[in-house]
Amino acid sequence: MYKLKSKFKPQGDQPEAIKKLVENINMGIKYNTLLGVTGSGKTYTMAKIIEETKRPALILSPNKILAVQLYREFKEFFPENRVEFFVSYYDYYQPEAYLPTRDMYIEKTADINDVLMKMRLSTLKSILTRKDVIVVSSVSAIYASGNPADFAETNLYLKVGEEYNRRKILEKLSKMQYTRKEDDFAGGTYRLKGEILDIFPPYDDFGIRVEFFDNEVESIKSFEILNKTTIEKFDKITLYPAKEFITSEKKIMNALSSIEEELNQRINFFKENGKLLEAQRIEQRVRQDIEFLEVMGYCKGIENYSRFFDGRNPGDTPSTLLDYFEKDFITFIDESHIAIPQIRAMYRGDHARKKNLIEYGFRLPAAFDNRPLRFDEFMEKTNQTVYVSATPGPFELEISDSIVEQIIRPTGLLDPEVVVKPTEGQIDDFIEELNKVIKRNERSLAVVLTKKDAEMLSEHLNLIGIKSAYLHSELDTLERTEVVKKLRNGDIDVVVGINLLREGLDLPEVSLVVIMDADREGFLRSETTLIQTIGRAARNVNGKVLLYADKVTKAMKFAIDETNRRRKLQKEFNEKNNIIPKSIIKELPKDIFETYKETIKENEFIFEVAEDTSMEDYIALLEEEMYKAASELNYERAAEYRDEINKVKKQYKK
């Protein structure tokens, strides 16, 4: 079913990890954790598990940048199988919002990325029609999507030799949200010229030409849109909807009475409470939507009425990408220590944001049900799960029936040596160590606590002749990537930053990582962050980490002990198998900005709440933003949200 193509072969403890996880999955063990160190080939292990279990797979990534990297790798591993990409289809997204303090309604605005929209539709079609499918997704997978039954049933089936009423075919295409255009060959359009019907599915790169003889279908073929050359001929074909949120005409007509009923209830509620403006507002907005649904079968914001189309009760679980899979799919959650808290936070934050829209008459209460899954619902909808991380969180460690380690790197590289030194004279000591690294033509990273510290240390190093640059959140993406390029090229010797995990790039030239004031506990000095930061030096045979601290905190002790444990296992394996560690050699991409050109800005929204917002709702909004920032590895921003949460809780106690 799956054909994995790779020049790699399982090495180190990879074969054992693959064998154990495949056995566990085949035995029906539901929760497994793959604890794999940086550079141990976790992606390849996932690919081998998919190949051997022969099951559809969903790979969840906490953010789009990591999702893009995983998608590329799996496309290379499985060129003959269906690897799909499912992330938010917005380049920019400002959700519908109402700011009571300014009496300002903000209409939903978005820049839709047509390529991502096409890839989402392709994903839905592939899951419904193929078994050899691998979907790489961000947390978009837990957000409400079109009902899979409607998507599967609302299609156009044509067969050569059969007779069809062409007018009904065009009506069906309109119901499927295809638009008639004579001079535009974009996805989701069609054109009819004489007895030739050209259809351009939004999920494919080619057009479909249906040739009629009177009402009989004479031929069906796919063709290149530019050259018009035939690609393939078909005896029959099924075309799927042009939009993700789609429903049948019958369901729309049945839903209208339910929408009307909830509208009347809401109007009465507002009038009884003396809110005449809200009553007028909700009536005007919803009646306009009802009119569009009756005539067009679609309206702006149709997803907010999805509960009525599905026949769900208030609070019932919405349809998501997970519902398109059959029950036997495997879920891999990459960087699970980030992804799990993020998934937990999504529901509460979404609910808190929609509260104003509903209370002030911009949406019916049914809008609450167009939402991401609650965490318990997510756990219920997923089948067998493999949590993948170098630093699994407490949840994964507690729930997993089996924790499989992948400690040995194919290159034989050891985890770096970790040395604790006092903070007194830390800069002078760092400079001494830095000069040793420069003589070896290698690079260094220094982690400090504040933006000002980063700028000051970088300036000081430049003044004494050491080429340095700083990185922090005020630099935009292109500026940050340019700094990384200079570091790898040797144009600079050291980069100073607050959080150097965000780059998402391997830096094999880096042999020294220094963490200043390592005993200052928090997001930037937690167990997870320390281990991940230490791993930055694990790509070089001379890898070394200096922790400047006046005491050894609990987080430091855990990180040091775990690094030493892994280092010991790696050393023993190398000695037993006569392996000599080698630094990773990785060419710099020709276009350093390539990765970033293909990634998309994360969703943004105006962060403002009403004066009467409850503490619980405000904290829910803050938590969502905190975990979102953490998922982007933007721990500086996450720490700011955490501090605000603590401040609010302290004020509440007082």
Q: Any known ligand binding at 381?
A: no
Residue 612, pLDDT score: 57
Quickly state the pLDDT bin for 262 (edges 50, 70, 90). very high
Whole-angstrom Cα distance, residue 18 to residue 52?
Answer: 9
Residue 318's φ and ψ, nearest 5 degrees, are -80, 165
Of 488 and 591, the structure prediction assigns the larger pLDDT to 488
Quickly state the pLDDT bin for 244 (edges 50, 70, 90). confident
User: Can you tell me which residue has the tokens 């939402």?
Assistant: 371
Q: What burial class does residue 363 get, using C-beta atoms within 10 Å of its C-beta: 0-12 exposed, 13-18 middle, 19+ buried? A: buried
Residue 91, pLDDT score: 64
Whole-angstrom Cα distance, residue 645 to residue 654?
Answer: 15
**What digits encode the pLDDT tens for the residues 470-487?**
887 677 656 777 888 888
Q: Any known ligand binding at 42?
A: yes
Whole-angstrom Cα distance, residue 115 to residue 117?
Answer: 5
- Predicted TM-score (pTM) of the model is 0.78
Q: Any known ligand binding at 41?
A: yes
Residue 104, pLDDT score: 82
**What digits encode the pLDDT tens for the residues 371-386?**
999 999 999 999 999 9
Asked whether the predicted pLDDT for residue 264 surpasses 90, the reply is yes
First CA to last CA across the chain, in angstroms? Answer: 62
Region 258-284: what's the mean pLDDT? Answer: 95
Q: Any known ligand binding at 465?
A: no
Asked whether the predicted pLDDT for residue 596 surpasses 50, the reply is no
User: Can you tell me which residue has the tokens 């990459």?
Assistant: 334
Q: Any known ligand binding at 39?
A: yes
**What digits encode the pLDDT tens for the residues 272-291?**
999 999 999 999 999 999 99
**What digits encode the pLDDT tens for the residues 314-326?**
999 998 999 999 8
Residue 184, pLDDT score: 74
Q: Any known ligand binding at 207?
A: no
Quickly state the pLDDT bin for 172 (edges 50, 70, 90). confident
Task: Select from 305, 277, 281, 280 the least CA-distant residue to 292.
Answer: 305
What type of residue is 286? Answer: V
Contact 548, 421 (CB under 8 A): yes
Write the Ramachandran bin of 449: left for phi over 0, alpha for psi from -120 to 50, otherwise beta: alpha
**What digits encode the pLDDT tens for the residues 175-202?**
888 888 887 778 889 999 889 999 998 8
